[in-house]
Structures are given as structure tokens and as C-alpha cells.
Amino acid sequence: MAVQGRRPQRRPRLPGVPRPAPAGAGGTQTHHAHRARRLSRHRPRQAGAVRRRPPGPRRRSPHLIRDHPRPLRSVLARRLPALSDPHPPLPPRCLLVRRSLHLRRWQKDALDRFEQRTQRDFLAVATPGAGKTTFALTAGLRDLARHPHRRLVVVTPTQHLKHQWAEAAAAFGLQLEPSWASSEPFPSDMHGVAVTYQQVAANPATLRGPADDAFVVLDEIHHAGAEHAWGDGIAFAFESAARRLSLSGTPFRSDQNPIPFVTYGPTDEAPWAEEDEAVADHVYGYADALRDGGVVRPVFFPRLGGQMEWTAPDGTEMSATFDDHLDRTASSQRLRTALSPDGEWLPTVLDQAHTELLRLRQQQPDAGGLAITIDVEHAHAVAALLRRHHGVRPVVVTSDDPEASERIAGFAGSRDPWIVAVRMVSEGVDIPRLRVGVYATTTVTELFFRQAVGRLVRWQGAHRRQKAFMFLPDDARLRAHAAQLAEARTHSLKRREDDGDQPSVELDQLPANGDDQLSLFQAISATPLDGEPVSVFDDAHHEDLIVDDPAALTMEIELVAPPPIAGAGELAGTLTVPRTQRKRELRQENTDRVRMLTHLTGLTPEVVNARLNQEVGLTSINEASLSQLQRRRRIADRWIDRA
């Protein structure tokens, strides 16, 4: 007969660990009584029999989320998959990896040239929106397929672009870890990593070993010349790389800090190149893209004059229009005055840009606008103007915001009308629905201007007509930069009609504005001049590019399968979901189960984590591969089932 009284607490144990034998006769009887109750659950009941609950306190089932107290109950109800399901449903938007790809003509030509070259270094310069990422990932996939032992390393200028590259690579079956840190081991269950130039410069030695005989992509390579340490860092880290593919959105020079792995003119192959000018192995410019059609949009540049008054740093009161000739310092002060949110010029330009955006949204409801601003304070002031005058709540993205990347991604997938940023959206960020821009920054270098305009040029296949507009201050330097792009636009569109020769567009070399001494500078007023904004060359936006079937302008190639990697886990190499995203989800699921086990067993989270890590051979969950995280979750589920 079983011993009466309260049932003793069961000792939690991991699956596979034998339960110690009951001690004493009383313990043996209790053990058999518990076993009998468990077996009785599986005996077939007779017809009409009533199942009675055994005496004693009710035992809560770990499968019933409603039985758990808050806040654990709300956490589990929201995030914990069914414990009995060893194969949870695939994440949303989970697609099979592509096995064929439509390459544009320039991408196929550049790929052929890249694979025919025996040199380790290759520089491709292609206009923003042309598809440099697709070209680079195709080249990387084909190279890794021929050399399965090689790793892939992508270097980007910003944190956000690391994650953007990882998502793009997943569509090719290539898995990149964008959250890798130099203090961690190089991930063994990934094809490679995505890092920033700053990361490489901070600790180049940690990448030197993994990058030995690797395939390295240096995105927007001109950034490596911005800081001397950045150039030294990539030179040391990637000295032994097998292939180094450098990308840039515009031709560039390096007057002060030569960039490693880049050839400078003049050379035997490029005797026309100027001193310190980078010589690209393949060039695809804005004019080429417009001529091909279905690659980039024609961009127009409405500009607005104004009368500005300000106090110079030395206390001198000045007044000028954009037509007045000033030296570089005074020109920068005039531009800063025009962009003051307290004047009339900036609100007027924002009004005109918003009106144009509303017109475009009648044909494309998700068309968006981008305002590029001076600094964080200026960005919030511009957002306040849009909110006050037009009743919209712009998305504001600044470098000091830890959620900046999430805000950019959220805006890209939404129908919000405006995003306001300082520099984060000016280069590399992919938001194809942007159709209107406001250039409200004092940075007037040609390189930055072209990259900013590049945010508006990406062609979307769903629309036949896709004009884009960048509203500008009528500053002479910006006017010259815009004129060059407008000339390329005009000649390219005419060539599509006349089948003439390709125009030659020289890049001007206007000096960049220096930093202003702002101790005594004060903007007094900025008043727009009467009249509508005029476009470069005073055209009436009559030029347009009509593309009926952009796919007809591409050629299809078969993609090779990505090389296998260790620790791949279930469905490896077949899904476009980045492995780093799946690992992040599995870590969270493991965390939820640890909380549940802590509640059920009374053990501390440290003890639970240590036991689970021991079962899968880990010292830290941050070092776990995808398959180890999946095994760890299954073991936790079995432990919960027995607790």
C-alpha cells in the first residue's frame, strides 16, 4: 500500500541522466505508486467509466501556458512554439534559394572580365542602383563553388549595410554573420562575415588569419581613404586574400591617403588617367545605365534661389543671393543660412517637394521622400517642419540612434511618405521607393552629392515611367554637380531615340567646402525669391524614360550551389532566411525555455544554462552553431516535459 501524504518533490534531471534508485521501503512504495499512476493514464477506459483525479494537489502541466503565472505566461504565449513540435513552421517570407539569375549586360560583362583576370585585385565602378551587390555576390558564389574551403568577407562603410549584405547573400545561399565581433571565434557554421572598415581598422590581426586565401569584397572602397588607419587596416588584414573585389558608386581620387589594392593612373592600360585617379577594371556610369533602360531613373534637379542675411564669425553682417559671387567660406555660410529651419527658404522648398511627392503618389502610392540634413539637431528641425506644415510624421534616422537600422528597414517596407537623415541614408542603403529628395546639407563634395542622388535612381520594374526629383539650393557648386548628371541624362535619352554615339562626360573638380568657424556665425534670414523653382538647363521635365519590359534587357544564367558548411542544421542551403536571423530566433527560444525551466524546477538560470550547454558541448550560447541551438532547444523541451 502506498504511503499516504504529500507527494515528495521530484528531482529535475536532464534526459539521459538516470534517476537515482529510491532509498528505503517507503521510498520504494512511493516510487511504485507514482509509476502506477503514470501507467494508468495509458490504460483503455471502459465504456461509461469516469476518469477521476488522484487525491492530492493538482499538478500543472508544463504544456498549458495558461497555468503559468505572469509575466512568464505572457512571454510564453507570445514567443514559445509548441513544445512537442520538433520542426516548427518556417519563418514568414521564407523562400527557396534562387538557382538562376537575370544579369544585366554590364553585370555579365564585368563578371566575365573578373573571371578571366589572373590578378587578385579588381575594381568595379558602377552608378548607384546599377546592381553592384548582385554582381559581387554572383562572383563570390562562383568562386566559392570552385574553392569550397574559402571564406567570404564583406567590408562595408556602415553597420546597416552589414545586415543588408547578409540578407542579400542569403538569397544566393551564402550565409554571412553581420554581428561577428573580433573577440569571438570566427563562425564555423557560416560562409563568412560582414564587417565595417572601422572594425577592421580597430583590430586587423583578428581577420588576417580567417581572411587568408579568402574572397574579400570591399564595398564603397573609397571610404578606405577617409582615414589613414582604415587603409592600413585592410592592407594588413587582407594581404593574403585570394581575391579582392573592390566596389564603388562613382570614380574617385585619393590625393592624401592612397587606398590599398587600387591602381592609380596614369598606367600603360589607362594613359589618359590623371595623377592620383583610381583606374577601374570595369566602369558602368549613369549615362550607360540610362541608355540601357530599366536600370536607373532619370533624375531632375529643381533649384530655388533666395536672399540670405547672416552674421559672419568675425561679426560682419552679410547679405547675398545665390547668384552673387562669393569665396568658398562665404559661400558655405550663405548655404548654411538658406538651410536654417528658422528662415523661409527651407520651409518653402519642403512645401514644393511634398507637393511633388503627393503628385507621384497618385500613380505610385508608396513613393517616398528623403531629406538629407546637416546634423542631428537639424534633422529633427526638418522633421518638425514637415509635421507642422503637412501633418506627416517623418521617420528620423541619426547616427546616435541604436535602432537606426531597424528604422531604415521599417521605412523601406512601409508606405510612410518621408524619411529624414543626416548621412546614414546617403550611401548604399536600398530604399527603391524613394522618388523625391531634398538636399538640405552643407556637404557639397561631388562624391557625396552623387551618392545622395543615387538613393533616388533605383529602377522598380512595376512602373513604366519613373522620374525622380532632387530639390536643391541654387548654390553654384551643387548646380555644377547637377548639371553633369543632367547632361548625362539628356544625352543618354536622346541616344535611345537617335542611336547616336555615347557622350563623354568629364567630372569637374570643384573644391570641397571646409569646416566653418561657427562660434559667432548666426543666420539672420533666408527668403526664397519669387517664382517657381527652375530645373538645371531650365527644362520642363519633358524628358522621360519609358521601359515596357526591363526583364527583356537582361540575360539569364544558372547559379551554382553554395558550398556546404558545418553546423548547418535543418534545411541548410535551401532557404533565403539569413542563418544569423534564424540563430537569433533560436537563442530567444532557448532563453524562453530557460525561464520556464527556472520556474518549474527552482534552479537558477545559471545552473539551467550550464546543464544545457554541457549536453551540446558548449561553453557559451553565443558560440553555438545553428544545429547546436536546435539540439539545445529540443533537450530543453524534453526536460520541460519531464519536469
Task: Give the integer Cα–Cα distance in Å for 391 and 397.
Answer: 19
Q: Is residue 182 part of a domain?
A: yes
| 510-541 per-residue burial string, b: 16 or more CB within 10 A, e: under 16 | eeebeeeeeeebebebbbbeeeebebbeeeee
Which residues form the domain of 624? 59-91+577-642
Half-sphere exposure of 332 (CA within 13 A, CB side): 17
Query: 314 and 454 in one domain?
Result: yes
Task: Quick: pLDDT tens for 468-497.
Answer: 999 999 999 999 998 887 776 544 444 444
Are 313 and 265 within one domain?
A: no
184 and 158 within one domain: yes
Read off φ and ψ for residue 186, nearest 5 degrees.
Answer: -65, 130
Which residues are registered as beta bridge partners of 418?
369
pLDDT of residue 434: 95
Q: Quick one: 256 and 349 in the same domain?
A: no
In a domain, residue 15? The reply is: no
Last residue of a domain, one of 558, 586, 619: 558
Residue 572 lies in a domain: no
In a domain, 428, yes or no: yes
Residue 325 lies in a domain: yes
For the domain that residue 167 is a member of, what is the CATH number?
A: 3.40.50.300
Within this chain, do residues 464 and 597 fall inside the same structural domain, yes or no? no
For residue 10, being part of any structural domain is answered with: no
The reply to whether 285 and 301 lie within a common domain is: no
3-class DSSP state of 114 = helix
48 in any annotated domain: no
Bond before 71 cis per omega within 30 degrees = yes
Cα angle value 410/95/566 (rounded, 5°): 105
Residues 516 and 456 in one domain: yes
One domain, residues 116 and 249: yes
Closest CA to 104 of 252, 282, 263, 280: 282
Are both 472 and 620 inside the same structural domain? Answer: no
d(CA 88, CA 65): 17
Q: Which pTM value belongs to this model?
A: 0.66
Residues 6 or more apart in contact with residue 85 via CB below 8 angstroms: none
188 inside domain: yes
Full DSSP string of 123-137: EEEE-TTS-HHHHHH
Q: pLDDT tens digits, residue range 619-635?
A: 888 778 888 899 999 99
- DSSP assignment of 36-64 equals HHHHHTTSPPPTT----PPSSSPPPPTT-
Number of domains in the chain: 3
- For residue 79, how far is the Cα from the chain centroid? 25
Whether residue 196 is found in the same domain as residue 253:
yes
Q: Are residues 280 and 135 in the same domain?
A: yes
Q: Note whether 361 and 484 are same-domain residues.
A: yes
Q: What residues are paired with 101 via a beta bridge?
A: 557
Residues of the chain with pLDDT under 50: 1-3, 5-6, 8, 11-12, 14-18, 20-29, 31-32, 35-36, 38-51, 53, 57-79, 81-96, 490-519, 531-532, 534-549, 552, 569-572
pLDDT at 359: 95
Show Cβ contacts of residue 227 under 8 Å, excluding neighbours closer than 6 positions.
197, 201, 257
The answer to whether the beta carbons of residues 343 and 528 sit under 8 Å apart is no
| Of residues 41, 113, 581, 149, the one with CA closest to residue 124 | 113
Provide the pLDDT for residue 144.
95
